[in-house]
Chains A and B, each alone.
Chain A
């Protein structure tokens, strides 16, 4: 019983991280119709910059916020320099540019921060919390709290603010949004910044547990992408749900079957979902317009 609970906790922990990355994929997809394969590099940059800012002597909370802001700025700059010049058009070209961008960001990080893994202290020091024979690391509580905060903040932003409404309008009908006066180009820039900030938050939250290194982005990118597809691309709630389902699936496979199969099982489930319900588990049925 306590082991089931332990696997469940681990699944929710990883699931929350996947959810943050899936949200990043979803936000960029909504505004451009393209998959941003540099999302994982924002995850890496968040952790790396957090370590760097804290090595400059900044207190941890300040370093964390600074890293999120800096990564968001990098995300915006990436859009302005690499994506915007393509103009609105074929999402495939945007995808190619993000793949190229991810390689550049990774190599840049290798040269700036070196090839060694770097540690970040936990947000709260102390022993793990014991619940019914299972243990919850304090950092895991932080991961859950920060993910929840990010999701609630995003929901508020999208539903209650003019900015969020402009973002939604852009994602629903780009041309119509422009006709009513929304600067859709700027909305795309914001979507990259927001996605980068979410990626950075995930990277920062997990680094105290795993350390970080220049090449962690590619692996986590695949997981975040799988979570976004599993839930249903383009829908933020579905992205979060997809992340958590993926995390739990992996954890149960690792616990009860074999840890080596967990990546494969997740992908097999993903394939099954794509065959049976291409819009994702939680995605609405696609309405074809004639």
Chain B
């Protein structure tokens, strides 16, 4: 009895020792043969609040990696993307990044899904100088500039003014705002307040809610009191449906506006009649037909949409599209590489991305712009009969 236990303990200690040694040698880099796969990490929210977004991203990443590898890989080397779940939790995003860097020895990281998680990982990536391609739409991701961080979605910085312009063009001047207190809503809110002033719009009521709130009567009753002529909602959460339903039930009677967060089929179908006439601004690629026939963007987006639908039986949403771009940007950078690639070289190659057609638009990065998208990549949509159509 005593013997067996001692032997088991010894064995465990030995195993632990080997594992640690193994880690050390891996993260040390060592010599790499040119036939080894390129190792890239991905930190996604597969569970928790952003599970729906992260799952779509995982689908898109796996689809693209398989396509690239089936076609012979990049420069004759396979692309190996190691996916970690951050559970929509900032601390877990950090430990996922650490694991990918220290244990797996990745040279770049795709992620995270959310703005909060993307920002939280930053110090860990800086420590190891690992480039990051984020799929979060928060403005902070690239406006708080970091030479290691790139971003694939349309940031609030370009979507907010686009939607405010649409409100202004429709002849409304007094806007009520309701936004969530999380990363995306707060990020958008700051820009709404600043831009509305520049554009001569008045914010007559400014309301917030927490993720997970199940009742919006208080916020909307206060908006009802304010003399608004349009309601702008800024959130990426499922609470959006509760907001519009409650607005209808309380008889607000205001035209409703929103952003990329509402470009999800679940919002339109889940809100029923309450979302009829809802106007939101997001990327042109939500409907590939927005791009001119024969253009590079149209080809890229349509091809991705078709393959995604065939593989998963569901339409690719914008989050799948942003992940498609993240893989595309990394693969394009690796393709231009001569010789072996380390993380510093990968960063430089990503920054040299030029005229790369993707889902978000055509990506051209520079030393000062790591997103490269503009209002020209956006379109205005309206919900009619539970589906979105072009608003203009």
| Interface of A toward B, CB cutoff 8 Å | 3, 6-7, 9-10, 13-14, 17, 107, 110, 114-119, 121, 127-128, 130, 135, 137, 206, 209-211, 213-216, 219-220, 251, 254-255, 258-260, 262-263
> Once the chains are docked, how many angstroms separate the CA of A107 from the CA of B213?
21
User: B51, B217, B238, B272: which contacts A251 (Cβ < 8 A)?
Assistant: B217
> Are A209 and B242 also in contact (CB < 8 A) when A6-B217, A251-B215 are?
yes
Tell me how far the C-beta of B387 lies from the nearest C-beta in chain A, rounded to whole angstroms: 15
Contacts of A115 in B (CB 8 A): 46-47, 51-52, 54-55
Min C-beta distance of B165 to chain A, whole Å: 28
Which residue in chain B gives the minimum CB-CB distance to A216?
B212
A259, B208: Cα distance in complex, Å: 7
Taking a contact as CB atoms under 8 Å apart, the answer to whether A259 and B269 are in contact is no
Q: Across the interface, do B218 and A117 meet the contact criterion of CB distance under 8 Å?
A: no
B49 proximal to A (CB < 8 A): yes
Contact A107 B249 (CB under 8 A): no
Which residues in B have their C-beta under 8 angstroms from that of A209?
214-215, 242, 245-246
Instruction: Identify the B interface with A (CB < 8 A).
Output: 46-49, 51-52, 54-55, 181, 207-210, 212-215, 217-219, 221-222, 224-225, 238-239, 241-242, 245-246, 249-251, 266, 269-270, 272
B207, B217, B245, B266: the one contacting A117 at CB < 8 Å is B266
| CB–CB A251/B52 < 8 A | no
Partner among A110, A121, A213, A259 whose Cβ is within 8 Å of the Cβ of B213 = A259
When the two chains form their complex, are residues A251 and B241 in contact, meaning their CB atoms are under 8 A apart?
no
Is there contact, CB below 8 Å, between B238 and A211? Answer: yes
Q: Could you say which residues of chain B place their CB within 8 Å of the CB of A17?
A: 214
List 18 interface pairs A-B (beta carbons < 8 Å), by A numbering. Answer: A6-B221, A116-B52, A117-B52, A117-B270, A118-B266, A119-B269, A128-B249, A128-B250, A128-B251, A135-B250, A209-B245, A215-B47, A219-B212, A220-B214, A254-B218, A255-B217, A260-B181, A260-B208
Q: Which residues of A contact B270 (CB under 8 A)?
A: 117-119, 211
Q: A3-B225, A214-B51 are in contact. Are A13 and B251 (CB under 8 A)?
A: no
A210 touches B214 (CB 8 A): yes
Q: How far is the CA of A119 from the CA of B267 in the complex (A)?
A: 10
Q: Are A259 and B272 in contact (CB under 8 A)?
A: no
Query: What residue in chain A is nearest B181 (Cβ atoms)?
Result: A260
Bound CA–CA A6/B250 (angstroms): 9
Main secondary structure of the interface of A (DSSP, over half): helix
Across the interface, do B214 and A3 meet the contact criterion of CB distance under 8 Å? no
CA distance A213 to B221 in the complex (A): 26
Residue contact A10 to B52, C-beta cutoff 8 Å? no
Q: Is the CB of A110 within 8 A of B217?
A: no
In the bound complex, residues from chain A placing their C-beta under 8 Å from that of B46 are 115
Pair B218/A10 contact, Cβ less than 8 Å: yes
Contact present for B51 and A215 (CB under 8 Å): yes
Bound Cα distance A251, B220 (Å): 12
Please tell me if the beta carbons of A135 and B207 are within 8 angstroms of each other in the complex.
no
A259 lies within 8 A of B47 (CB): no
A60 to chain B, nearest CB (A): 14
Q: Which residues of A contact B47 (CB under 8 A)?
A: 107, 110, 115, 215
Cβ A116 vs Cβ B266 within 8 A? yes
Please measure, in the bound complex, the distance between the C-alpha atom of A118 and the C-alpha atom of B181, giving whole angstroms: 23
Which of B181, B208, B212, B225 has most chain A Cβ within 10 Å? B212
B214 contacts A14, C-beta separation under 8 Å: yes
Task: From B210, B242, B249, give the contact of A259 (CB < 8 A).
Answer: B210
B51 touches A10 (CB 8 A): no
CA distance A160 to B103 in the complex (A): 64
Most chain B CB inside 10 Å of its own CB: which residue of A6, A107, A211: A211
- The residues of A that contact B239 with a CB separation of less than 8 Å are 210
Is B215 a contact partner of A14 (Cβ separation < 8 A)? yes
Judging by beta carbons under 8 Å apart, are B49 and A215 in contact?
Answer: yes
Which chain A residues lie closer than 8 Å to B246 at the CB level?
137, 209
Query: Is A259 a contact partner of B217 (Cβ separation < 8 A)?
Result: no
Inter-chain contacts of A263 with B (CB < 8 A): 210
A220 and B208 alpha carbons, distance in the complex (Å): 20
The interface centre, meaning the residue of B212, B215, B241 with most chain A CB atoms within 10 A of its CB, is: B215
Tell me the smallest distance from the CB of A51 to a CB of chain B, in Å.
Answer: 11
Known: A3-B225, A128-B249. A210 touches B242 (CB 8 A): yes
For A137, the chain B residues whose CB sits under 8 A away are 246, 249
Instruction: Name, among B49, B241, B245, B269, the residue most crowded by chain A CB atoms within 10 Å (CB to CB).
Output: B245
| Interfacial chain A residues near B245, Cβ < 8 Å | 209
- State whether A213 and B217 are in contact (beta carbons under 8 Å apart), knowing that A119-B272, A128-B251 are contacts in the complex: no
Measured between C-beta atoms, what is the minimum distance from A275 to chain B in Å? 26
Chain B, residue nearest A212 (CB):
B238
**Chain B residues with CB below 8 A from A9, complex form:** 217
Given contacts A119-B270, A128-B249, contact A251 B181 (CB under 8 A): no
C-alpha spacing A115/B270, complex, angstroms:
14
Q: How far is the CA of A216 from the CA of B218 in the complex (A)?
A: 21
A129 nearest in chain B by CB position? B249
CA distance A213 to B266 in the complex (A): 11
Q: How many Å from the CB of A184 to the closest CB on chain B?
A: 37
Contact between chains at B249 and A135 (CB < 8 Å): yes
Q: Cβ of A211 and Cβ of B217 under 8 Å apart?
A: no
B222: chain A residues within 8 A (beta carbon): 3, 255
Min Cβ gap A240→B in Å is: 19
A213–B225 touching, CB < 8 Å: no
Hey, which chain A residues are within 8 Å of B51, CB to CB? 110, 115, 214-215
| Bound CA span A260–B189, Å | 15
- Per CB-CB distance, the 10 closest pairs between chain A and chain B, nearest first, are A115-B51, A254-B218, A10-B217, A255-B218, A119-B270, A117-B238, A128-B249, A115-B52, A219-B212, A137-B249
A107 to B48, CA, bound (A): 10
Residues from chain B with a CB closer than 8 A to the CB of A10 are: 215, 217-218
In addition to A128-B249, A251-B218, 7 A-B residue pairs with Cβ atoms within 8 Å of each other are: A7-B218, A117-B266, A119-B269, A119-B272, A127-B249, A209-B245, A219-B212
Residue numbers in B under 8 Å from A116 (CB-CB)? 52, 266
Please tell me which one of the listed residues B210, B214, B217 contacts residue A206 in the complex, with CB atoms under 8 A apart. B214
A210 to B212: give the CA distance in the assembly, Å.
10
Contact B241 A117 (CB under 8 A): yes
Instruction: For B211, give the chain A residue with the smallest CB separation.
Output: A219
The CA of A173 and the CA of B221, in the complex, are separated in Å by 49
- Residues of A contacting B217 with CB < 8 Å? 6-7, 9-10, 251, 255
